[in-house]
Every structure is written in C-alpha cells, then in structure tokens.
Chain A
C-alpha cells in the first residue's frame, strides 16, 4: 500500500518559496493598484467627460464582483478574445491590481473630498494652478485620511491574493494544497499555512488599528474586505 510521506525539511523550502511569491505578488499588485486608483480618482476629480463615467463603471463593476470571477475573466477569457497568452502569474498580477485599483480609487477620492473646498479657493486665489493646488495643498492633507483605510485594504488584499492559487500560481496556498494532497494531514498543513499568513498579516492589521486610532475620527468607516 502507498504510504503517505510525512513532511520533510525540503517542504519547508517549498513553503518558504510559496510565501515569497505570495508576498511579492501582493506587494507588486498593491503598488500597481494604488497607481490605478490614483489615476481613476484624478479622472473623477477633473470630471473628464466620457472617461469619468467609464471610471465610475470600472469602480462599481470591480468593487461589486468577486475577485475570483475577475481572475477567470482575465486568465481564461482574455486569451480567447484577444489572442494573448497570459501566464497564471501575469493574469494574477493584472487581476489583483485592477481589483485593488477599484478600491483605492474610492479611498483616494473620499480623502480628497474631505479636504475643505475653501482650501481650493484659497490656493487658486494665490495663483496656484490645478495641479499645483492638488500636489502641494490638497494631497498632502488628503494622505492623512487615506492611510488608515489603505492599510486595512492591504490586509484584505493580502488575504484575497491567495485566490491566485486557483488559476495555478504556486503561491503559499497552492503549496499548502500540494502538501495537503501528499501528506493527507489537513489540520497540520492548513495550520502551518494559516500561521504563515498570520505572521505577515498580523503586523499589517496592527498597523491598520494603530493608524486608525491615530489619524481618524471614529465616524469614518473604512472599506475593509476579506
């Protein structure tokens, strides 16, 4: 009879590789997502005619549909309509960035709107242009309101990045899946994987709580997700 093999030290390196992939995919997609979010928020702020409405559709659609469907749409869907071939890793990065972008757009826009209108008028009266006002006056103030929801979004995005394992990226969850099938010790494996995620995620969520207590009044609610 085939005997299930126990965990070996080699598996530790597998797990570590998975963890590195998870963290880098998360970090990279969060940076791209933040850039997308900024671009969307700026388009909305300037009320660029058609693009602005498209930005609303983008944000609404990607905030209100499952990341898993977005992943499949990009990984399985794009090759069939555009003829491009995406590796699971690229598709995962694109989907996560797009998803993060939609949530960041809302956070950034809300933060910008929290800055009193008088600031705009004063800056214009001082002769600053639109971008100068945005860059030197409004954004520096808005960043304060942006940080807490951004950090708690990051906690959520780190968690959902695990979904890229479903399209075949060998991230931390995927390694867990493989080891689970081989060792048939689900409690052990998924506990190890859970602890791995916890170790990365806990400092982030402590940072989220801390920034929330430091920078925010209790009435503004963050857009958290899991």
Chain B
C-alpha cells in the first residue's frame, strides 16, 4: 500500500471550487428547509383536517422513500410537465424538501415538549394562533429542537453529495473528475472525506454557537425582568 498525494494536492483548487458549490447548495437548502420544515410542523398541528392530512401524507412519503428516488423524480419528471430548471435548482428543491421533513419531525418534537398548560395560558390571555406560535410556543420549542436540528443540517450537508448524480458540479462530482484524471481515487476520496468532515464540523460549530447565544439571551431577558 503506497499513498501518493501530490496529484491530488495539485488539483486542490478544483476541489475547493467544488466545495464552494457544496457550501452554496447547503446554505440555500438549509434556509429553505428550515422554512418548509417549520411550515410543515405547524401544518401538522393545524385545526383544519385537510391541512393536517396533507402535511402527514407529505412527511410520510418523504420519510419513507430514498432521497435519490425523490431527486430523480424531480430531475427527470419536471421537464415532462414543462418545467425546465437546471440541475442545480432541481437539486436544491429536492434537497430542501427532503430535509424539511426531518426538520419538521424535530421541530414538532420541540413543539410537543411545550407544556399544554403554557399554551392554554397563552390562549387564556387572548393571544391568537399566530401570536401563540410567535411569542410563546416557538421560542420554547426551538430551544428543545436546536441540537437535534444540528444533526439534521449535518445530514443535509452530507446529502448534497448525491446531487453529483444529476450533474451538479459540487465537491463530489469534482472529486470524480479529479479521480479519473489522476488515477489516484483512494487519495482523492480520502481528501474529499476530510473536506466534508470539515464542512460538517463547521455546521455543528455554528449550531453550537447559535444555541449558546440563544440560551444566553434568554437568561439575560430573565435577569432583566
């Protein structure tokens, strides 16, 4: 077994460019999946039966089918109905929807850990549904949900690699090019493994920081009161 990293290090700029696309896809998808996920989690608890059923059906379907099948469904399917998006946008759409379902599960668990009494008290004070969520339920729910949300987001970053199958030029597809140019697949994928590890490490650090700041602010607010 002899490892030879020089060709890989020479093609590092290409890999870094791929990492840039991965970061872009991740950031956009994280934002979208948090929005979708929150909407789904709230729809799941709606008083309107149809809305609730639709949310449950959506969550069920996306939870129980592989991401790659969802991706192909959109990538090959959208043009059939006359929607010509490029691979990047299609990938972001599929990734956001898939991660939104896991985010929704986590947020729902957070919402459910808010005591019934708290919600009843909010209602008794005359807050409407929006105000209940905005001022009472969500601030508490997110404090419960932020850590598990971190692992959902890490998973999202890892799943971006699957977008290479629909020709998105992210880190994984760059790696495939570099591997076939240098004939050094093991070294290339080892480096890519490390790069992904760094990316997920960054995500967990950010989540850690946000949750720390959040808790800090909550404590400060209580001290002022």
Contacts and interface: CB of A to CB of B under 8 A. Distances in A.
A198 B193 contact: no
B68 A221 contact: no
Contacts of A60: 197
A132 interface: no
Interface in A178-195: 180, 186-187, 190-191, 193-194
B172 A197 contact: no
A226 B106 CA distance: 13
Nearest to A66: B161
Contacts of B69: 162, 173, 176, 190, 193-194, 197
B189 A72 contact: yes
B211 interface: no
A223 B51 CA distance: 28
Contacts of B66: 159-163, 173, 197
A218 interface: yes
Contact of B179 (A76, A223, A224): A76
Contacts of A150: none
Contacts of B158: 64-67
Contact of A194 (B65, B112, B147): B65
Given A76-B179, A80-B186, A186-B73, A69 B63 contact: no
B190 interface: yes
Given A197-B64, A226-B63, A218 B112 contact: yes
Contact of B68 (A173, A202, A224): A173
A161 B109 CA distance: 27
Given A186-B76, A201-B65, A77 B154 contact: no
Contact of A72 (B160, B162, B185, B187): B185
A69 B196 contact: yes
A226 B68 CA distance: 10
Of the candidates B68, B160, B197, the one having the most CB atoms from chain A within 10 angstroms of its own CB is B68
Interface of A: 60-61, 64-70, 72-73, 76-78, 80-82, 155, 159-163, 165-166, 173, 176-177, 180, 186-187, 190-191, 193-194, 197-198, 201-202, 205, 218-219, 221, 223-226
